[in-house]
Structure 1
Amino acid sequence: MFEHTSRYYNLETAQLTTTDGRKIAYKRRRFLPQGKDMPVLVEVIINDGDRLDLIAARTLGVPDQFWQVCDANNAMNPDTLTAEPGQRIRVPVPQV
């Protein structure tokens, strides 16, 4: 259903049977980890024009792993992490 690098990969797959007998597979809810409990690979100071995908590519080697940076900083909206130059963000040790 999802690639092994997806944040949803390890979630349990459940199944719903509709009233007409159709079976619908879905992933159970993902609970966010506590950022303070995640081991830190590096801290990055945000510069004007930084993008989270580029930071993830530079530090984790894969741009679509930006969600791990969000998790490490308890960010529900990725844009908040790069909105303010000078802000420090945590990049976690890769979890995949």
Structure 2
Amino acid sequence: MTISPTSRYFGLETRILERPDGTKVAYLARRLVPPPERFATLGFHTVVQGERPDHVAAKHLGDPEQFWRLADANAVLRPNELTARVGSLVRVTLPEGIPGVADA
């Protein structure tokens, strides 16, 4: 199984479950969401009417499929919570583990 390096599942261990009938099923280990303090803040985005998490990710991260990074950095489990309220702030960060200027 090949997982893109930009996927939230990249680097997770592949495990095998053996069913009672002997059938083997491959699956990915559980992904634990890192605590928000492990991300260096780049800035904030103010939500406008009609925005979705993928819009914000495209604008600030250059890839709409990276919306999950915004969700992780803002401690939300459901990405749509990021843009549910017009005027709310979405924290935009570097990827986990990359220190920012204040972290260096």
Normalized against structure 1, the TM-score is what?
0.89
Q: How is 1:1-96 mapped onto 2 (pairs within 5 angstroms)?
A: 1=1, 2-95=3-96
Q: Distance in 1 between matches of 2:81 and 2:21?
A: 44
When structure 1 is superposed on structure 2, of 58-67 and 32-41 the one drifting more is 32-41
Q: Distance in 2 between matches of 1:94 and 1:54?
A: 18
Q: How many residues align?
A: 95
Q: Distance in 1 between matches of 2:16 and 2:27?
A: 6
Shift of 1:26: 0.6
SS of equivalent to 1:15: strand
Shift of 1:93: 0.8
Q: Distance in 2 between matches of 1:74 and 1:64?
A: 18
Structure 1 segments of 4+ aligned residues over 4 angstroms from their partners: none
Q: Is the 8 A contact 2:70 2:93 kept in 1?
A: yes
Shift of 1:41: 2.1
When structure 1 is superposed on structure 2, of 2-11 and 59-68 the one drifting more is 2-11
CA displacement 1:5-33 (0-9 Å, x = unmatched): 11112111111112222211110111111
Q: Distance in 2 between matches of 1:28 and 1:89?
A: 29
Shift of 1:42: 2.0
Structure 1 unaligned blocks of 5 or more: none
SS of equivalent to 1:65: helix
